[in-house]
Amino acid sequence: MSDEHATEAEEEYLQVLFWLFEAQLPMTAANVARAMQLSAPTVHEMVGRLERDGYITRDADKSIGFTEDGREHAEQIVSRHRLIERFLTDVVGVPWDDVHEEAEKLEHAMSPRFEAYVRSSVSDATTCPHGHPIIPGRRIEGVPLADVEEGAKVTILRFENEAEDLLHYLKRAGLEPGLQGTVARADDEEVVVSDNGAEHAVTASVAETVSVIADPSPPPRTALPDQLVLGRDRYGR
Ligand SMILES: [Zn+2]
Ligand SMILES: [Zn+2]
């Protein structure tokens, strides 16, 4: 069984596994490899290590599950990541499309004491700046913006993919979590959301990665893993 010290690499993998779990995507080595843009042998080796260290179990069909210990570690690191992002935007003043990569580094280097200070400095926040719940399990289900019909009212809930180039794109388009508007146009090429006369256009494939609450709402659908890998970067947590 594991002791209390997951390595930095193990923390990264646990975080990606939790992200798959949360998005209801299958927890498999293949999806981890896709998410982290790593080769299958590299991922295979690390998955073996996570199993030996008592963080995950593997079924005969190769699907991965968390042990209690693994789930706890994964939730801790995911929560810390989102907390740091919120701290960087609200306290430090870093633009929200720049905080993910910074948080990736800081999340492994923070002492429990400093984490407590950070937590109290943003104690009112419930989500990261991209809409993901700081306390895992408090995720509000949404639907992909790409599925919403023209004329529907939408509230932007979350950016499912935090790849940096994608966040820059969304920022330039003027979309952000909490924004309320109407779907002015939607076709195979692009989706346009308008609010108070301003129009925000994104490609249909990017609209796949934007979760919204819509009225009228299309039926719920889990995004396909392929549609969540867009940028050169790893996709987000
Ligand atoms: Zn992030
Ligand atoms: Zn985030």
Q: Which ligand is nearest to the CA of 104?
A: 1
Q: Is the pLDDT of residue 202 over 50?
A: yes
User: How crowded is the C-beta side of 24, counted as CA atoms within 13 Å?
Assistant: 11
Q: Is the pLDDT of residue 25 over 90?
A: no
Tell me the CA–centroid distance for residue 180 and ligand 1, in Å: 22
Q: Which ligand is nearest to the CA of 125?
A: 2
Average confidence (pLDDT) over 82-104: 96
Q: Which ligand is nearest to the CA of 96?
A: 2
Collapsing DSSP to helix, strand or coil, 220 comes out as coil
**How would residue 2 be classed by pLDDT, with cut points 50, 70 and 90?**
very low
Q: Which ligand is nearest to the CA of 134?
A: 2
For residue 135, give both structure tokens. Answer: 């306390």
Q: How high is the mean pLDDT of the chain? A: 90
For residue 128, give both structure tokens. Answer: 């990261």
Q: Which ligand is nearest to the CA of 235?
A: 1
**Per-residue pLDDT, 220:** 86
Tell me the CA–centroid distance for residue 128 and ligand 2, in Å: 5
**Per-residue pLDDT, 35:** 83
The pTM is what?
Answer: 0.89
Rounded Cα gap, residues 98 and 88, in angstroms = 9
**How would residue 236 be classed by pLDDT, with cut points 50, 70 and 90?**
very low
Tell me the CA–centroid distance for residue 59 and ligand 2, in Å: 31
Tell me the CA–centroid distance for residue 78 and ligand 1, in Å: 9
Transcribe the chain into DSSP letters. ---S---HHHHHHHHHHHHHHHTT----HHHHHHHHT--HHHHHHHHHHHHHTTSEEE-TT--EEE-HHHHHHHHHHHHHHHHHHHHIIIII---TTSHHHHHHHHTTS--HHHHHHHHHHTTT--B-TTS-BSSTT-PPP-EEGGGPPTT-EEEEEEES---HHHHHHHHHHT--TT-EEEEEEE-SSEEEEEETTEEEEEEHHHHTTEEEEEESPPPP-PPPHHHH--SSSPPP-
Tell me the CA–centroid distance for residue 126 and ligand 1, in Å: 14
Share of the chain above pLDDT 70, in %: 92
Tell me the CA–centroid distance for residue 136 and ligand 2, in Å: 12
Tell me the CA–centroid distance for residue 236 and ligand 1, in Å: 6
Question: Is the pLDDT higher at 208 or at 92?
Answer: 92
**How would residue 226 be classed by pLDDT, with cut points 50, 70 and 90?**
low
Contact (Cβ atoms closer than 8 angstroms) between residue 169 and residue 159: no
Tell me the CA–centroid distance for residue 151 and ligand 1, in Å: 31
**How would residue 4 be classed by pLDDT, with cut points 50, 70 and 90?**
low
